[in-house]
């Protein structure tokens, strides 16, 4: 299936969960990443069970604490 990850089209096998995608995409500090699918936030507790489907748009949002 085709999904969009951070604006980029990607091909993944059916049945992919948010947790697996985080692993495959080598997400930095995965325990603190915020994930949205089709402009809805996904609760961290459901990362393991949330199955992605064809056409989904996934975004990873990261903490950035610097500034001074």
DSSP assigned state of 42: P
Strands, sheet with 57-61, edge to edge from the N-terminal-most edge strand: 8-11, 2-5, 57-61, 34-37, 40-41
Binding test (CB under 8 A) with another protein, winner from 9, 13, 45, 67:
67
Residues 16-35 that bind another protein (CB under 8 A): 29, 31-32, 34
55 lies in the binding site for another protein (CB under 8 A): no
> Where does this chain bind another protein (CB under 8 A)?
6-7, 29, 31-32, 34, 36, 39-41, 59, 61-68
């Amino acid at each position: 299936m085709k999904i969009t990850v951070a604006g980029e089209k990607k091909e993944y096998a059916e049945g992919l969960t948010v947790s697996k995608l985080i692993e495959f995409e080598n997400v930095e500090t995965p325990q603190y990443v915020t994930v949205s699918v089709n402009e809805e936030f996904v609760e961290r507790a459901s990362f393991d069970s949330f199955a992605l489907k064809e056409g989904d748009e996934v975004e990873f949002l990261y903490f950035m604490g610097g500034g001074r």
